A and B are shown apart, each in its own frame.
Chain A
Amino acid sequence: MDTQLDTALRPDAADPAAPRAAEPSQALDPKSLIARFGPDKPLLTDAGVALAPFQIAYQTAGTLNADRSNAVLICHALTGDQHFAHTHPVTGKPGWWETLVGPGKPVDTDRYFVVCSNVIGSCMGSTGPASIDPATNRAYGLDFPLVTIRDMVRAQAMLLDHLGIDSLFLCIGGSMGGMQVLQWAALYPERVFAAMPIATGARHSAQNIAFHEVGRQAIMADPAWADGRYLEEGTRPAKGLGVARMGAHITYLSEPALHRKFGRRFQGGSAPTFSFNADFQIESYLRHQGLSFVERFDANAYLYLTRAMDYFDLAEDHGGVLANAFRGTKTRFCVISFTSDWLFPTADSRVIVHAMNAAAAPVAFVEVETDKGHDAFLLDEPAMFAAARGFIDAAARARGL
């Protein structure tokens, strides 16, 4: 870990944002495939806005078969992106789900055509608050309409129409991606053959909304946020976004994992310095997480996407009865949770499973034992892979793939 991190987020430290490019380049010029939708194809959002024009940045792997029956849609999480199996254009890191997706992996790119799109409202090439508003020729900022999980799914459906994919073999995603999977199954049941919502819930809990609100307030309390107009001001609310990320990152881990990884160990010494430097390794780690996040993510996009998760309540959309969201569905489901996930605990997954059962939907459920917390769905979890492989292979047989 970098010792420079110790000072980076301190109020008196040099502003790390100032010398850098003032706008996130991937928002405007992404290294990605792009589907563009003109004024004739607006995205009709839950907020009552017809968003047009707009674009969806996406990546693919594998080949679509002649029947167009082997398509897999990956739905990414809050701060994820479309680069599921591709080197990240900003960080240079490998694709974020190469543990699960690739040749010979449970989501086998030798057999399936895999698509992942950046969600609407994000900042990696799909239209969002960092995109240029054609009405004003400047960044949308807070003029961008609030979007919901359902809006994300509608935009993905438009992308699939654009790609000529009528029905998905599999829709899979974790966390906010899992919310999209559930929304897909509820909104377009006939277009989803199999669905895997992982480490997610059918609604965002009050505690989760509370964590998100702390993150948003950290961003908005940063003077560099400038009421959301920082792109024109040439600044970036790096401190606010960094603190938001630090807080959120804690919720993605677990106490045992934090203790195992860091304990109370000191950073670069064995004694306290009697200062507010990052004495503890855990502090240094969190500061690093905050700092590296602001390199790749737009603060306003973070506001919008956290809000979209907060608004998600699938039961509320179906008369208060979650089972109604899955009534009559033919989709086969596999729900996965992790024992140490306290952001979307197993109880949340059981609510989903019970609702699917009540609706007579074919559902499998696995609780994976791990101490890695919510982020386990992104990590090397052999028990998750075994469950995914069994479910996906059996679904492929049922679909004749």
Chain B
Amino acid sequence: MSAGSHHAAPWDAAAGLPREGAGPRVDHLVVLDLVPAGARVLDIGCGDGALLALLRDRRGIDGRGIELSREGVNACLARGLPVIQGDADTDLANYPDGAFDVVVMSQTIQATRQPREVLEHLLRIGRHVIITFPNFGHWRVRAELALRGRMPMTDLLPEAWYETANIHHCTIRDFVGLCRLLGARIETAAALDSRGRAMRFALPWWVWNLFGAQGVFLLAKDGR
């Protein structure tokens, strides 16, 4: 087992994100808007299955998941979700090309050992890829580093450097660079503010990179 096996599960960290009442997480609702009804969806690092269940109940998707922790898999089983205990770093190679309409990786890519290889697999397996990740370029992160000289701990990144599962941080700009490197077409991009709401206006990348707490990207492979 790799990243995360000895730490709090990634979704525990993200559970601190705002919700609308007792309803779904706000960042999940942003993903929901990007997924067409009835799609075949693979959620990698699906945690307790909250997003998959939301997509199933609101979009009627045919959903599958991969989750590293047994506790997460058990929570998914109890929701009736077909989820495999597995590791994104090693298991994606076994999925056929174009097997899913949409592959979702929510708040997980920064916890993989090989983000580039993982993203290549996502673009191969899914016709569309939705990625969300904490933006390491957010002003609060920068301030922690610049002013306090410490590794940042925020709502999205609540663990100390020595125990976090997040081993490959990136900024929104870094991620755009990786997309270009891999020939991934950015179909939609959004930055979410620290309350998980989408920033409404199309703004220059540098603004999002400074004020976006999370990046949300809908990608497709060029030539598809």
Contact = CB atoms under 8 A, between A and B. Distances in A.
Interface of A: 332-334, 350, 353-354, 357-358, 360, 362-369, 383, 386-387, 389-391, 393-395, 397-398
Contact of A390 (B40, B78, B85): B78
Nearest to B77: A390
A362 B61 CA distance: 13
A387 B82 contact: no
Contacts of A389: 78
Nearest to A393: B78
Contacts, number: 67
Given A353-B84, A367-B70, A368-B70, A362 B77 contact: no
A395 B80 contact: yes
Contacts of B64: 357, 362
Contacts of B4: none
A368 B77 CA distance: 14
Contacts of B78: 389-390, 393-394
* 10 closest Cβ pairs, A-B complex: A394-B80, A390-B77, A390-B78, A362-B82, A365-B84, A354-B94, A391-B77, A364-B82, A386-B74, A366-B85
25 contacts: A333-B82, A353-B84, A358-B94, A358-B96, A360-B40, A363-B84, A364-B82, A364-B84, A365-B84, A365-B85, A365-B86, A367-B70, A369-B70, A383-B70, A383-B74, A386-B74, A387-B70, A387-B74, A387-B77, A390-B78, A391-B77, A394-B77, A394-B78, A395-B80, A398-B80
B99 interface: yes
B205 interface: no
A90 B74 CA distance: 38
A140 B82 CA distance: 46
B81 interface: yes
B73 interface: yes
B79 interface: yes
Nearest to B96: A358
Contact of B80 (A357, A360, A383, A397): A397
B53 to A, nearest CB: 11
Majority SS at the chain B contact face: mixed
B76 interface: yes
From B64, B74, B79, name the one whose CB has the most chain A CB atoms within 10 angstroms: B74
Determine the main DSSP class of A at the interface with B: helix
A358 B99 CA distance: 8
Contacts of A332: 82
B161 interface: no
B82 A363 contact: yes
Nearest to A396: B80
A366 B75 CA distance: 11
Interface in B60-100: 64, 70, 73-86, 91, 94-96, 99
Contacts of A390: 74-79
A289 to B, nearest CB: 31
B74 A366 contact: yes
Contacts of A362: 64, 82
Contacts of A367: 70, 85
Contacts of A334: 77
Contacts of B91: 350
Most chain-A Cβ atoms within 10 A of its Cβ — which of B74, B76, B77? Answer: B77
A350 B94 CA distance: 10
Contacts of B77: 334, 364, 366, 387, 390-391, 394
B81 A364 contact: yes
B139 to A, nearest CB: 41
B72 to A, nearest CB: 10
Nearest to B75: A390
Contacts of B86: 350, 365
A358 B85 CA distance: 16
Interface in B18-53: 40
A368 B78 CA distance: 16
A331 to B, nearest CB: 11
Contacts of A397: 80
Given A365-B86, A387-B77, 4 more contacts: A358-B94, A364-B73, A366-B70, A383-B74
A112 B96 CA distance: 37
Contact of B76 (A353, A364, A368): A364
Nearest to A346: B85
Given A354-B94, A358-B96, A394 B70 contact: no
Contacts of B81: 364, 394
A353 B95 CA distance: 11
B85 A394 contact: no
Given A357-B94, A358-B96, A387 B73 contact: yes
Nearest to A392: B77
Interface centre among A358, A366, A395 (most CB of B within 10 A): A366
A387 B94 CA distance: 24
B80 A366 contact: no
A358 B92 CA distance: 12
Nearest to A337: B85
Which of B64, B73, B79, B96 has the largest count of A CB atoms less than 10 A from its CB? Answer: B73
Contacts of A366: 70, 73-74, 77, 85
